[in-house]
Amino acid sequence: MKSLLEQRLQLHVEKLASEIGERNVWQPKALYAAADYIRDTWSQLGYEVHAQGYDAGGVWSENIEIEIRGRERANEIMLAGAHYDSVTGSPGADDNASGVAALLEIARLLLEIKPERTLRLVAFVNEESPFFYFGEMGSKIYAQAARERHDDIRIMLSFEMLGYYSEEPGSQSYPPILRWLYPDRGNFIGFVSNLNSRRALKQFAAAFAASSDFPYETLASPTIVPGVSWSDQLSFWRQGYQAVMVTDTAFYRNPHYHRASDIPGELNYAEMARVVEGLAGALTVLVKA
């Protein structure tokens, strides 16, 4: 029998990837529907929701944010984010409805928390092409504004594909060399940083380990390694913040990556629920540390 958290995660993924479907600037109505769903979900939980809007190729686009303000060290910020757009031609169940579903349910799990530090949860727009890497990514707009405000973001977590797991031998691949250092089964969650974010990576991994027995692997790597910088953490690295990507390793594991077959039925919600519980626990540790 599925847990309530599993059911809720699946409901979010199905709403975004099945009912709304492909969502990006080429499908603006769907992009707006996804934004409204995120906004409404958080509002119904009682959060005050804020939006940061900007024009992206003639399409109004919004980052959506909630905040749980800290009591003693409110200026110190822990931030978790996930992009809600999908790549052209894909409904984006794992990429990245799974990350958004985690963000929505973490907000529910931490509803009554009384943190010392401030916790922000942000749904970013326009992570995918044509904005990825060199364009006006939503996270780029957000991180630049945060730096201009002198926001003291201690750790940024980028939730990038959290729903695909396999116990099959050989189900996990890697860039050259790394395959000799890590498991060949895709049954773990990955925590990935650039070299400058090693401290944050270590701190977050310790917080996760204190909160969950779900298997995880860590990697601090030069960004030249394919995939290491391929999400919203890049925008924060460029602004000098410490950031970590939380991922099921995307194309190194999931054969449906950026395909029409990236549908809700391909995800493992039981394992995803364990990961989300661990992430909520880790964030609780970090904002109370």
Q: What are residue 217's DSSP bridge partners?
A: 190
Q: What are residue 63's DSSP bridge partners?
A: 52
**What tens digit of pLDDT does each residue of 73-91 get?**
999 999 999 999 999 999 9
Separation of alpha carbons 18 and 261, rounded Å: 11
- Beta carbons within 10 angstroms of residue 37's beta carbon: 21
**What tens digit of pLDDT does each residue of 121-152 get?**
999 999 999 999 999 999 999 999 999 999 99
The fourth-level CATH superfamily of domain 4-288 is Zn peptidases (3.40.630.10)
Banded pLDDT at 179 (limits 50, 70, 90): confident
The DSSP code for 268 is -
Banded pLDDT at 1 (limits 50, 70, 90): confident
**Is the overall model pTM greater than 0.85, yes or no?**
yes
Q: What is the pLDDT of residue 148?
A: 98
Q: What is the pLDDT of residue 130?
A: 95
